[in-house]
Chains A and B, each alone.
Chain A
Amino acid sequence: MFWRKNVREHPEFKIGMADFGPQALGIVAWGLMIGVAMVNSGMGTLAAVVMALLVFAGSSQLAAIPLIVAGAPAWVVLATAFCVNLRFVVFSLHLRPFVIHLPRWTRLAVGYFITDNGYVLFTKRFHVPGRTDEERLAQVAYLAGANSLNWASWMLSSLVGIALAHSIPPAWGLGFAGILCLLGMQCSLASSRLRILASVVAGVTAVWVYHLPLRLNIVTAIAVAVMVCMSAERLKPTSAPGGHA
């Protein structure tokens, strides 16, 4: 990770930062919005700052804030946060072969720093785990570069949001920039007809089962979309990857 000099000075570190660059604006707007939302919801400033620094997870923070303020039992807050983060459990399965060579504490640090954006950029750039030490270092450096810019832009904007909470009305809807950022990433992944199908199925399912508790609609939508696409793939064995099905 970035605390090691050979990671920071690797050319891939800069490439990771550069690739993340265009997304930083969306992250900044989203961080600002979450900073404002934390304070406006009635959390104390100290709790808001601690939450921004420790949790570093926009969607689960957004889901947890109203529960904390309402005094929900701790297990409900934690279960909700875990479920909103369940997509990362899937991502961790995917990332395992890429990071398993790292020491455990470093792997846990990867867990802290990884976000949707970081995961998508990383898996777009690297399709197979590094086979040599040099390849592995390059992958870690890229991940560290993208993650550190992600973390810095998020923290700075969250703290600014907390400070400015009383002068940015949530009604402006600045947080929508964060959604547009996720939407842009979604489009960048739509590289085959089956993936577009996954996107449509997941979107419809997430709306369809939106009433499920603990935001389980998201996990359900992922599961349904993956199953539908794997069946569709099996039905059309002639379509080459990336070809016209």
Chain B
Amino acid sequence: MSTDELWTLAVILGLAVATVVARSFFFISDKAWQLPHWAQRGLQFAPIAALSAVVVPEVVMSQGALITTWQDARLFAAAVGVAVYVAKRNVLLTIVLGMAVYLPLHLGLGW
């Protein structure tokens, strides 16, 4: 095994540790500690905000810039996905019908 490969494996191990530390951050220590009330109120908005922050750029951006065309399969797939969720309240259908719109546009028309 070359030193390059060893370095890569060491970085991957570090990544695993960094991931676990981030994900357990506030429950690693069990010292008594109470979350302030304002933080508890704010927390109800954090999950949807985090998802939106990950999802929206993946739909409307390409190579770090806002897309300038409407001919992008992701826009139509996301719109259909939201409509399907609102109508059927089903995440699986959202994925399946969203991909049913995405793949033909993306592979067929190159959008």
A residues lining the B interface (CB < 8 Å): 21-23, 25-26, 29, 43-44, 46-47, 50-51, 54-57, 59-61, 64, 68, 74, 77-78, 81-82, 85-97, 99-100, 104, 107-108, 110-112, 114, 116, 119-120, 123, 172-173, 176-177, 179-190, 194-195, 198-207, 210-211, 217-218, 221-222, 225-227, 229-230, 233
Contact B52 A51 (CB under 8 A): no
Tell whether, in the assembled complex, residue B25 and residue A205 are in contact, meaning their CB atoms are under 8 Å apart.
Answer: no
Q: What is the distance, in angstroms, from B72's C-beta to the closest C-beta of chain A?
A: 11
The CA-CA distance from A89 to B98 in the complex, in Å, is: 30
- A56-B19, A85-B18, A206-B56 are known contacts. Are A183 and B82 too (CB-CB below 8 A)? yes
Contacting pair A207 B12 (CB below 8 A): no
CA of A66 to CA of B109, assembled, Å: 29
- Whether A199 lies near B52 (C-beta < 8 A) is yes
- What residues of chain B have their CB less than 8 Å away from a CB belonging to chain A? 5, 7-16, 18-28, 30, 35, 38-39, 41-61, 64, 66, 73-74, 77-78, 81-82, 85-86, 89-92, 94-96, 98-99, 102-103, 106-107
Supply 30 A–B pairs (Cβ within 8 Å), ascending by A.
A22-B90, A25-B96, A57-B15, A68-B8, A85-B22, A91-B23, A93-B43, A108-B20, A108-B28, A110-B24, A120-B47, A176-B106, A177-B98, A179-B59, A180-B95, A183-B81, A184-B94, A185-B91, A186-B48, A186-B55, A187-B86, A188-B91, A202-B49, A203-B53, A206-B53, A207-B61, A211-B64, A218-B53, A222-B50, A225-B49
Compute the total of residue contacts between A and B using a CB distance below 8 Å.
278
Contact of B49 among A85, A95, A179, A222 (CB under 8 A): A222
Q: Report chain A residues within 8 Å CB of B13.
A: 54
Contact (Cβ within 8 A) B28 A104:
yes
A123 and B41 contact, Cβ closer than 8 Å, known pairs A173-B106, A179-B59 = no
Given A47-B12, A186-B48, A199-B49, A92 and B90 contact (CB-CB distance below 8 Å) = no
**Given A114-B23, A179-B58: A64 touches B15 (CB 8 Å cut-off):** yes
**Is B25 a contact of A89 with CB atoms below 8 Å?**
yes
A206 touches B23 (CB 8 A): no
Partner pick for B82 among A50, A176, A187, CB 8 A cutoff: A187
Secondary structure class of chain A's binding surface, majority of residues? helix
The answer to whether B25 touches A225 (Cβ under 8 A) is: no
> Which of B12, B21, B81, B91 has most A Cβ within 10 Å?
B91
Residue pair B20, A111 in contact (C-beta under 8 Å)? yes
Measured between alpha carbons, how far is A87 from B106 in the docked complex, in Å? 31
CB-CB under 8 A from B94, the residues of chain A are 180-181, 183-184, 187
The minimal Cβ–Cβ distance linking A212 to chain B, given in whole angstroms, is 11
Known contacts A96-B27, A111-B20, A112-B20; A91/B47 CB under 8 A: yes
Distance between Cα atoms of A43 and B11 in the complex (Å): 12
Please state if A202 and B19 are interface contacts (CB–CB under 8 Å). Answer: no
The interface residues of chain A lying within 8 Å CB-to-CB of B19 are 55-57, 60, 81, 85, 112
Q: Which residue of A lies closest to B31 (CB)?
A: A100
- Write out the residue numbers on chain B whose beta carbons fall within 8 Å of the beta carbon of A104: 28, 30
B95 near A177: Cβ-Cβ < 8 Å: yes
The 9 closest A-B pairs by CB, nearest first: A111-B24, A203-B56, A22-B92, A184-B91, A221-B53, A85-B22, A225-B49, A202-B49, A184-B94
